[in-house]
Amino acid sequence: MAEIGVIGAGSWGIALSWLLTNNGHKVTVWSVIESEIEMLKTSHEHKDKLPGVKLQDSMQFTTDLESTCKDKDLLVFAVPSIFTRSTAKQMKDFVKEGQIITSVAKGVEENSLMRLSEIIKEEIPQSRVTVLCGPSHAEEVGKGLPTTCVAGADRKSDAEFVQNLFASDVFRVYTSPDMLGMELGAALKNVVALAAGMADGMGFGDNTKAALITRGMAEITRLGTAMGGAAETFAGLTGIGDLIVTCASVHSRNRKAGYLMGQGKSADEAMAEVKMVVEGVYSAKAALQLAKKYNVEMPIVEQVNDILFNGKTPKEALPELMMRDKKSEHSALPWKE
């Protein structure tokens, strides 16, 4: 049995806490929100974020960050990406040398363009940071539905340590050394999912969705490989796998926010209705900045940014995507004549 502290009591943090407890580990969940912790202590259920998932009696809940971090075999970092740096700063003095931390949120910091694992490592330099991502909605993990993810780390032993803690008969975990590719795929798929949701909200069909998923993956792969990620990563669970589930699922908050925008709501109105952090909105600007930095063409990301921040409507963005210059799908493939 491992002692595990989960930093963040959102839907994903709670679902993973349920999974880890079910695997026989002792889990303590932290949240800065006192009313949230009181609700979890009283009902052992997150009635707002993950209703219907009954949490085990052995699970502990607290607002005490120090006790959550100290003397733990693993810390699971599950706060939304916009709070990653501030939370890491608060944790620093409570984290022991060599502590393994697993980042499970998704995003890229807008100003620094840093991945979440890089932020945690910068703020808590004594830690060994790993990541866990893949096609995995909290609503399904919390019900014990079969799910597959990837544990990424610089050290193989760290990835295997995380793999062993999370793996179960309903949660299969692979390992990978490509944290850069994994985190980029996890963050940027949320931007494409906004576009997919917009298409749904405008009443378009499966043809449109398939095109957005495929061309969106092409954009993510172009940027990711330019930054040093492996092409294999983007063809795997944390690339195309995560993109498919986020663009297609009724559980996807990014798709839902996009859907509402496709129906005419503003980004702020859509996020207010979703009632959870819509990571794609915060990653969109960073994705566009990275595209410019690495001189990579990302037309879907560009149009999403224009819709979110420059007053363009989804209806205005569509013809700009459809009527771009004609080109080959794979320019590197040779013609016979």
From residue 246, give the alpha-carbon distance in Å to each of 23, 158, 200, 249.
26, 27, 13, 6
Rounded CA separation 302/104 (Å): 26
In 3D space, the residue among 179, 289, 293, 159 whose CA is nearest the CA of residue 229 turns out to be 179
Residues annotated as catalytic are 189
Rounded CA separation 119/69 (Å): 18
From residue 154, give the alpha-carbon distance in Å to each of 98, 107, 178, 236.
13, 19, 8, 18
Who's near 256: CB < 8 A, 6+ residues apart? 197, 250, 270, 274
Report residue 22 as tokens: 């079910």
Rounded CA separation 299/219 (Å): 8
Phi, psi of 233 (to 5 degrees): -65, -40
From residue 214, give the alpha-carbon distance in Å to each of 111, 218, 306, 332.
28, 6, 21, 17
From residue 268, give the alpha-carbon distance in Å to each of 16, 56, 307, 335.
29, 36, 12, 48
Phi, psi of 36 (to 5 degrees): -65, -45
In 3D space, the residue among 142, 140, 115 whose CA is nearest the CA of residue 130 turns out to be 115
Q: Which helix or strand (DSSP H or E) is residue 111 part of? A: none
Rounded CA separation 188/184 (Å): 6
